[in-house]
Amino acid sequence: MLAWTIYISFLGAAGLLLLPKGSTVVARVLALLTAVAGFAIALTVFVHHRTGEMHTLIRVPWIPSLGIEYHLADDGISLTLVLLTGIIAVAGVLFSWNIQERSKEFFAFYLLLIGAVYGVFLSFDLFLLFVFYEIVIIPKYFLIAIWGSTRREYGAMKLAIYSFAGSAMVLVGLIAAYVEAGAHTASLSDLAQYPFSPHFQMAAFPLVFTGFAILAGMWPFHTWAPTGHVAAPTAASMLLAGVVMKLGAYGCLRVAMTLFPLGLGPWSAHHLGFGSWRDVFAVLAVIGIVYGASVALVQKDFKFVIGYSSVSHMGFILLGLMTLNQIGLSGAVLQMYSHGILAGLLFAVVGRMVYNRTHTRELAALGPMNLSHAIPFAAVTFVIAGMASMGLPGFSGFVAELMIVIGVWRSYPLLAIFVGVGIVIGVVYVWRAMQKAFFAESGVAAGFSPREPGHEKDAGFSPGSLLPITLQEKLGAIILVAASVVVGIYPQVLLNVIVPALNSPLFAGLRQGSWQ
Amino acid sequence: MIPIDYAQLLQLAWPEIIVVAAALIAMAIDLIALRQRPARTRFAVAASIASIGCFAAILRILLAPDTANLLDGTLIANPLVHLVQIALLSLAIFTLLLSVDATFTQHVGEFVLLIMVATAGTMFLVASQDLLVIFISLELLSLSLYTLAAFNKRSLQSWEAAIKYYLFGGMSAAFLLFGFSLLYGLSNSTSLTHIAGAIHGPSLNPLLIIAIVTTTIGLGFKVAAVPFHFWAPDVYQEAPAPSAAFIASASKVASFFIFFQIMALGFAGSEGSAALFHVVRGWVPVIALTATLSMLLGNLVAIRQTSLRRLLAYSAIAHAGYMLLGIVAHTQQSLAALLYYVITYALATLGAFAVIAVVEDQRGTDQLAHFDGLGRQAPVLSLGLAIFILSLAGIPPLAGFFGKFYLFATVLASTPRPVGLLWLVALALAMSIVSLYYYLRVLKRVYVAPPSADAPPIKSPALSQFLVVLLAAAVLLFGCAPQLLLQWIQAAVQSSGL
């Protein structure tokens, strides 16, 4: 039944294209229904799924002569991420309710993207997984290039090229692994058991891992993320930060680490103080955490703050993966979910609630508008989302980051200190953005730099001129906050399926390798 | 001396005879009965007759699939040859459909005749393993193509392109003939299998090296591989759309097939190796070098193009580079992969030319800027163009993606350790990242840019739409269910024993 999340999304996309011209309202409703249907399926299966172990949905030969199968399955990790996709999909449609221009095409691309994302999370055949993974690139490009804002064509192209470069690296590794294993199966579980030589794994692991990690925003390949997020329309930034970046992290765990566990093992000698690829990627992840947070601290553009915060939070996921202990890995999966929800919420506030009303994202220009009075709902939502994202207990972010930090403490005690620094900076940049955008005192701001160019046009601004927050926006925000709070208060709801999945035979190689 | 069985010869050549007969009938009817009619009617009648002829030839091949090998490979009939011939005939039908809306000429009968003769040339070309017949069919094909390229008498550039094509073509034919003559001198035979037996030896004869290089030049010209590609951008840009489409599709399929055959059969035993750090002299390193240059130059130069046809020409050069990897691998599997790739590539390119033909006809140019906003004016054609372009870029679930995957997998599998040719595959994939940039630039024009205010709206002719939908459906189908085409190709390659 879970497979229908994919089909329904694709059918919805096709249905939207067939609608007559100018049926904006119908398009919205159809998109919402499709997204809700996908979410409902995901939730139903999630509720009934008790064990979290791998469960095949459909497995039929696809290209028999090459041993390629159409194999959809789910385990606790996929299920968590499918659920996340469902939530973000619904919220994204609600936050794009105001799209007027070419709305039919917008939602068609949107649902195409969603369907492919579901597909990636449910594929247990490498070829199939890769097919879905690459389908994602094209709608992403068009969503940004057509409906985006600041430097949209540049941002979209950069994003597409980076994604494609990442997937080309992945493809080289996958084809090599497929051929090395005899070119008669592309099944993930079969290949995970194939004894690739340590030499091969040592070469293939960094290639495939980096390929996927590009999409997960790993420093120094993260530069597509802030520009892409800023250029994208709200729903697309939500999807991009919420689920597309997770595709990369998911691929790192599901493909790179599962297939080539020995690639994580120690090298014969230390180079530059690194003893294995694991050390290298752990350090890159920590640099991402600290760098992303520090850069977010000095941004003038509200959306760039969130964009760089994504880089920082994605660093936590990659670092959690590199801890290679159960608590760190489950924390990483939990963080995929948590960051997906919270990044979605933050982009919704900044892109839809604030930018669509004020038409500026300059923090300095937003201050004098006194937004906490003009649109209190947005201010409250941002405060909640900001608190959750800086790791306040009671929200999903806290549990996830705590687990990762514990994991890091066990594997890399020294790095844990830098993570702590990153978390502190995280508190500061959220605080700063919150204060500047929503709670700057008007008196102070009025006397503040009247020479700035962005300032003049807002001179005649009065708080009453902003449109009130619509019902759809409120609904979307409530869904996302609830999704974070539920997991924050009762993390077992996800961990109950994530932990068994990590203990399943699929990850046996990883556990034997260097599991602590 | 083996006695020639003319009855069998005729029997085997039935499909080609049908094609030529249909061409003559089409021309005769056009000349005798339709001279005073408008060009479109004449094109419709002539193209229908010719298409029926092609269709009859396909039926003949399907219904009477003889297997024979006449006179040591002078004329061959086996499932593989039949498969390629059916592909060629189908591409010829698509080209004929594309030419119905053409307005560049009054010489309808001659145009259709030339396309059919070129088709017959490709069919003989793929059905022979004998140097003489290969050369004659290649010339039959080439001479028809030169004329087809020059068919727009009103355009000076079309002339220029055709002259360029002709001069380069003549030169490369000379090289090819020179290589063939050396092979004959070395082996005393024109049959590929005999040649392989005769030249087989522990070390490479210097004359053989010259033969390898000159043969590569001659065939490299046909497939537009660097550095023998100079004709391609001009011909792609200036030749009439149906001619360019034929040159880019059917001629490519036949040339790649025969290129593979000559190299893998004729030069069997002197392969050498292009594996990293283990380069051994032979024809494989030569092909690997051309492939590398084609991938680099084709993709990098395509970035700067402002004309869609020229862009397709450079992308064709890049694709020739990828496909040459299939020849570098020279295994049965890689032949299957090469055929899959080149057939689906031909479908996508033909489709792209069908869209270009419509835009060019109504806006007078194929400059990228004139595709602005096409997505809203001609949704069907634009969706088709998007599918063709994305297939060329290798985006799943389109045929181009599976083609790349399968081709690269077979290239890696061709050496005992997959690392050997990994550098070529890695280069190919790295270059495909570059290609996404220029392919997306085209789609950006079509879907993102607003239509310019002064440009007249595009009307989509029904026939073009039909052709585009048909080809797009094929590209999508072969991408989603590659098995449909693949099992056929694999069975044919297996049974041919190449």
Domain boundaries of chain A, sorted by first residue: 4-514
Inter-chain contact B448–A65, Cβ cutoff 8 Å?
A: no
Which site among A175, A191, A194 would you substitute to test the B interface, given the most B Cβ atoms closer than 10 Å to its Cβ?
Answer: A175
Closest Cα in chain B, distance from residue A283 (Å): 27
Residue B490, in any domain of the structure:
yes
Q: Specify the pTM.
A: 0.92
Closest Cα in chain A, distance from residue B12 (Å): 31
Give me the pLDDT at residue A457, please: 44
Residue B151, in any domain of the structure:
no
Across the interface, of B436, B448, B490, the residue whose CB is closest to A160 is: B436
Query: For chain A, what is the largest distance between any 2 Cα atoms, rounded to a whole number of angstroms?
Result: 74
Q: Is the pLDDT of residue A115 over 90?
A: yes
Residue B279, in any domain of the structure:
yes
Q: How far apart (Å, rounded) are the C-alpha atoms in residues B446 and B435?
A: 17
Inter-chain contact B444–A172, Cβ cutoff 8 Å?
A: no
Closest Cα in chain B, distance from residue A171 (Å): 8
Measured between beta carbons, the chain B residues lying within 8 angstroms of A6 are none
Helix (H) or strand (E) holding B41: helix B39-63
pLDDT tens digits for A78-87? Answer: 999 999 999 9
Would you tell me which residues 434-463 of chain B have a C-beta closer than 8 angstroms to some C-beta of chain A?
436-437, 440, 443-444, 447-448
pLDDT band at B430 (very low <50, low <70, confident <90, very high): very high
Across the interface, of A132, A168, A180, the residue whose CB is closest to B429 is: A168
Inter-chain contact B448–A142, Cβ cutoff 8 Å?
A: yes
Inter-chain contact A171–B409, Cβ cutoff 8 Å?
A: no
Would you tell me which residues 368-397 of chain B have a C-beta closer than 8 angstroms to some C-beta of chain A?
390, 395-397
- Alpha-carbon dihedral sign for residues B276, B277, B283, B289: positive
Q: How far apart (Å, rounded) are the C-alpha atoms in residues A334 and A344?
A: 15
SS3 (DSSP) at A58: strand
Give me the pLDDT at residue B134, please: 93
Q: What separation in angstroms does the CA of A314 have from each of A249, A366, B52, B487? A: 8, 27, 61, 44
Inter-chain contact B432–A168, Cβ cutoff 8 Å?
A: yes
Computed over every residue of chain B, the mean pLDDT equals: 89
Inter-chain contact A172–B482, Cβ cutoff 8 Å?
A: no
How many domains does chain B divide into? Answer: 1
Q: Is A70 on the interface with B (CB under 8 A)?
A: no
Least confident of A11-15, A147-151, A439-443: A439-443
pLDDT band at B495 (very low <50, low <70, confident <90, very high): confident
State the complex-level ipTM.
Answer: 0.91
Residue B203, in any domain of the structure:
no
Closest Cα in chain B, distance from residue A462 (Å): 35
Across the interface, of A132, A161, A176, the residue whose CB is closest to B433 is: A161
- Alpha-carbon dihedral sign for residues A271, A272, A275, A277: negative
Residue A84's nearest CA partner among A401, A498, A404 is A498
Inter-chain contact A142–B436, Cβ cutoff 8 Å?
A: no
Q: How far apart (Å, rounded) are the C-alpha atoms in residues A78 and A250?
A: 9
Residue B357, in any domain of the structure:
yes
Measured between beta carbons, the chain A residues lying within 8 angstroms of B433 are 161, 164-165, 168
Which residue(s) pair with A55 in the sheet? A74
Closest Cα in chain A, distance from residue B153 (Å): 41
For residue B437, what are the domain limits?
A: 271-498
* The one-letter amino acid at A152: R
Q: How far apart (Å, rounded) are the C-alpha atoms in residues B51 and B41?
A: 15
Return the CA Rg of chain A: 22
Least confident of A204-218, A490-504, B61-75, B423-437: B61-75
Give me the pLDDT at residue A456, please: 41
Residues of chain A above pLDDT 90, percent: 42
> What is the DSSP-derived secondary structure letter of residue B393?
H
Q: What separation in angstroms does the CA of A324 have from each of A133, A215, A282, B5, B328? A: 25, 21, 11, 74, 42
* Helices and strands (DSSP H and E) totals, chain B: 21, 2
Closest Cα in chain A, distance from residue B130 (Å): 32
